[in-house]
Amino acid sequence: MPLSMNREVFITCAVTGVGDTASTSRHVPRSPKEIAAAAVEAAKAGAAVAHIHVRDPDTGAPSRRNDLYKEVTDRVRQADTDIVLNITAGMGGDLIFGSVEQPFPLAPTSDVVGASERFSHIVECAPEICTLDCGTMNFNLGDYVMTNTPSTLRALAKMMTDFGVRPEIEVFDTGHLWFAKKLVEEGLIEDPVLIQLCMGVPWGAPNDLITFMAMVNSIPSNWTFSAFGIGRDAMAYPAAAVLAGGNVRVGLEDNLYVAKGQFATNGQLVEKAVNVVENMGARVIGPEEVRRKLKLTKR
């Protein structure tokens, strides 16, 4: 399939994530105040969308606390800089087994809850977009499995559609994209469909262009997609995504460096992505154009 470059590109900034990165770089935001400030910084640099996780303000560990999400969203909405809020709904499916000989009982760090609890902070915060991790996979090292069963995904997709928040389908591998199509076929997700291709996360889709283009070529032409890679290849993906017809994601969730050995801020990563997009001859669009494109409900 020939490349079809996107000329009207929006940038998402994933400002903190949940990985053990806050202990590596002081720029990774922890508290709601810091996370909200990072989202505003990203917006001022050219991001139209901020993808939000929260952390325990004291330890930097990932958190699902509704009050932390509410504080972040309130602070962003009270700021003088507009940005589309995209809040994760992917937590609460963390299954961590015991040893290989005794997988049960599960490790105490497991965090598995029901669909309604996984969605409760979305109801409280009412963002414009929330994520739906569209499958189960062995995640990174050890005995951690990211669990999203078909029944749970169907339930979450219906909650999102009924509530009026736009799902961003997180696709970590080819089967996740296959299931996303099934959700649309069953009427659980409505147009316009929004996809995020998550490349290079062990052990999902590898971070190579052959796999990337195979996934791009499987996305229906009327869907909207973004893509990112992690680590050292993260800043090559803005060019790859735009050339393939998609949009861009950068941020400290995916990559800590703006150059070799130089820790980045979220704003610096967005600025670099803006330069890549504009130097390719495309235009970076803002939050209002994204709302029109994706038929978002601003609250």
Sign of the Cα pseudo-torsion (259, 85, 162, 123, in order): positive
| Segment 149-155 mean pLDDT | 97
CA 59, CA 41: separation in Å to the nearest integer?
Answer: 23
The reported pTM is 0.96
Report which DSSP code applies to 6.
Answer: -
Tens of pLDDT, residue by residue over 160-206, are: 999 999 999 999 999 999 999 999 999 999 999 999 999 999 999 99
Query: Is the CATH code 3.40.50.720 the one for domain 8-294?
Result: no
CA angle 121, 126, 127 (to 5 degrees): 100
Q: How far apart are the first and last CA of the chain?
A: 39
Who has greater pLDDT, 23 or 197? 197
Read off the pLDDT band of 2 (50, 70, 90).
Answer: low
Give the pLDDT confidence of 110-144 residue by residue, as tens digits: 999 999 999 999 999 999 999 999 999 998 778 99
Please check the confidence at residue 1 and state whether its pLDDT lies above 60.
no
Sign for the pseudo-dihedral over CA of 37, 128, 119, 87: negative
- Whether the per-residue pLDDT at 13 is higher than 80: the answer is yes
**How confident is the model over 236-288, as pLDDT tens digits?**
999 999 999 999 999 999 999 999 999 999 999 999 999 999 999 999 999 99
Looking at residue 140, what is its pLDDT? 79
Residue-wise pLDDT for 239-250, tens only, equals 999 999 999 999
